[in-house]
Amino acid sequence: MSNIFPKWTNRLPLILTVGVLVAGACVVAGVTYYFTPKYTRVGYQPIQPVSFSHEIHSGQMGIDCRYCHNDVDKSWYSNIPSAETCMKCHSMVLAEDPRLEPIRKSFKENTPVPWVQIHKTPDYVYFNHAVHVNRGVSCVKCHGKVNEMDEVKHSKSLSMAFCLECHRNPHENVRPQSEVYNLNWEPSAEWDADREGQALVDKMKIRSSQNCSACHR
């Protein structure tokens, strides 16, 4: 009766322990990256019905964000402009361009242009645009450098940890109210978050609550 277990099985315990440790590490690393919003959301860049380029409009031409998203400082929902706003210029500029066909169709038939949504928080999260943009938090913090995007891309993870970063230290992310819609603004050399940033926070009495009641109700 031959021996049941070959010789190498003696080293089995050693192989097992090392294998388990390595495999475990890989799984944990994989999950922390692939299964969190850092990966599942960042980089999502769907094709829009009209290839609207923020880079041209807000980057090169310097149109203010509130020209199109005019309700961003009044409501929790930053609205998408209707075709009427586009046609204010595009009735003359690029009047026959085939790419703007959906805009003209929408304007004529008064039907909405089916833009594809990119930034979306879950339904149980109540994010409010107005309170952020009116109090020194710029669009770039959450939407990234939109003025350099030819096609809008989901640049920040918008996970809870991401929001908590700002809420935990608002002084590092607040800027003067005048610079909120200037996406290229960078803190100058002598801008020290603990001094100027904290001054802004104290002046505006910013109480960025880290509590569930801030976003969930």
Partner 1 sequence: MKMNSKTGQVGNAVESRYWRSIGESMGEVEHPEWSDREFPEGASELPEDFSRRDFLKLMGASAGLAGAGMLGVGCRRPEELIVPFGAETSEGIHGQEYVHGVPMYFATAMPTRTGAIPLLAESNEGRPTKVSGNADCPASKGAANGFAYASILNLYDPDRARTYFKNGKEMSKADAVEQLKSLAQSEGRTAFLMPSANSPSRDRMIGLIKDRMGDRVEFYVHEAIDFGIHARAASKAFEQSITPVWKFEKAEVILSLDCDFMGTEEDSGLYTCDFTKNRKLASADDSMNRLYSVEGLLTQTGANADHRLRANASRIGAVAVYIASKLGVLSDANSQKLIQDLTQEQKHWIDACLEDFEANKGKGLVVAGYRQPEEVHILVHHINGILGNNGNTVEFIPVATEQFGTLKDLSEDLGKYDRVVNLGCNPIYDGGVDIGSKAIVDKTEFRLTYFKKDESHSSLGKPSTRLCINAPLAHYLESWGDARANDGTIVSIQPLIAPLFDAMSELEVLSIYASVNPDTYQSAYDIVKDTFSGDSWEHYLHQGYQEGSKSTPVTDLELSQEIPSIAYSTIPSKSVEVVFTRDYSVDDGRFANNGWCQEVPDPITKITWDNVMSVSRKTAEKLGLEHGKKAKLTVQGKSIEAPVWVQPGMSDNTVSLPLGYGREGDLRIANFEYEKRPLINNNFFGAKVIDVGGFNFYKLRSSGRNLDFGEIENTGEDYPLSSTQEHWSMEGRPIVREATLEEFRKSEKKRAKELGKEEYNEKHFFPDNLGLGSHARNEGEIYEHPYQERPTLKSDVNQWGMSIDLNSCMGCNDCVIACQSENNIPIVGKEQVANGREMHWLRIDRYYTGRNHNPKEKDSDGLPLIKKIKDQGQNGDDVQHAEEWIDDPQVVNMPMSCVHCENAPCESVCPVNATVHDDEGLNVMAYNRCVGTRYCSNNCAWKVRRFNYFDYNKRPLENLYESPLTKPALFLDWLSDREKPSKKEDEWDLLELAKNPQVSVRMRGVMEKCDYCSSRIQAAKINKKVKAGTGGDVMIKDADLKTACQSACSADAITFGNLLDKDSRVVEEKNNPRTYETLDFLDNGARTTYLAKVRNPNPKMPDSYEKPFSTKEYKATEGGHGDDHGAHKGHGHSHKEDNH
Partner 2 sequence: MSESTVQPKVETHTPKELVRVPLVSNNRSFGWITNQVAGILEGKMPRWWNVAFAISFLVTMMCFTYIGYLILTGVGVWGLNHPVAWGWAIVNFVFWIGIGHAGTLISAVLFLLRQKWRTSINRTAEAMTIFAVICAGIFPGIHVGRVWFAYWLLPIPNANAIWPQFRSPLLWDVFAVSTYFTVSLLFWYMGLIPDLATIRDRLRKNASKCTTGFEKLVNRIKQYLYGLFSMGWIGSNRHWRNYEKAYLLLAGLSTPLVLSVHSIVSFDFAVSQLPGWHTTIFPPYFVAGAIFSGFGMVLTLMIPMRTIFNLEDIITIRHLELMCKVILATGSIVGYAYGMEFFIAWYGGNPYELYAFKNRAFGPYWWSYWIMISCNVISPQFFWFKWCRTTPWFIFIVSIFVNIGMWFERFVIVVTSLHRDYLPSSWGYYSPTQVDILTFVGTFGLFMVLFLLFVRYLPTICIFEVKSVTAQADPHTKEGGADKVEGGAH
Beta carbon nearer to partner 2, 4 or 92: 4
Instruction: Looking at residues 24 to 63 of the shown chain, list those that interact with partner 2 (rule: CB under 8 A).
Output: 32, 36-38
Beta carbon nearer to partner 1, 147 or 155: 155
Q: Which two tokens stand for residue 137?
A: 């938090």
* Residue 46 touches partner 1, criterion: CB under 8 A: yes
Beta carbon nearer to partner 2, 117 or 211: 211
Q: Which two tokens stand for residue 149?
A: 């995007």
Give the range of 2-10, 16-24, 52-60, 208-216 binding partner 1 by CB under 8 A: 208-216
**How far is Cα 100 from Cα 51, in angstroms, rounded to an integer?**
8
* Residue 6 touches partner 2, criterion: CB under 8 A: no
Residue 92 contact partner, candidates partner 1, partner 2, none, CB within 5 to 8 A by sort of partner: none
* Residue 1 touches partner 2, criterion: CB under 8 A: yes
Residue 98 is inside which H or E element, if any? Answer: none
* Cβ neighbours around 6 below 10 Å, total: 8
In three-state secondary structure terms, 201 is: helix
Residue 150 dihedral angles phi and psi, to the nearest 5°: -70, -40
Q: Which two tokens stand for residue 56?
A: 């041209």
* Residue 24 touches partner 1, criterion: CB under 8 A: no
Total residues at interface with partner 2 (CB under 8 A): 15
Burial grade of 157 (CB within 10 A; 0-12, 13-18, 19 or more) = middle
CB of 45 to partner 1, least distance (A): 6
Only one residue has tokens 């991401």, namely: 162
CA angle 99, 103, 107 (to 5 degrees): 155
Task: Please report how many Cα atoms fall inside a 13 Å half-sphere around the Cα of residue 153, on the Cβ side.
Answer: 14
* Residue 10 touches partner 2, criterion: CB under 8 A: yes
Query: How does DSSP classify residue 99?
Result: G
Only one residue has tokens 């999950």, namely: 31
For the chain, the residue count is 217
Encoded one letter per residue, x for contact with partner 2 by CB under 8 A and - for no contact, window 163-202 reads -x--------------------------------------
Q: Which residues contribute to the site for partner 1 (CB under 8 A)? A: 34-35, 37, 39-41, 43-47, 49-50, 71, 73-77, 79-85, 101-102, 106-107, 109-117, 120-126, 128, 130-131, 134-136, 153, 177, 200, 203-205, 207, 209, 211-214, 216-217
Which spans of this chain sit near partner 2 (rule: CB under 8 A)?
1, 4-5, 9-10, 13, 32, 36-38, 157, 159-161, 164
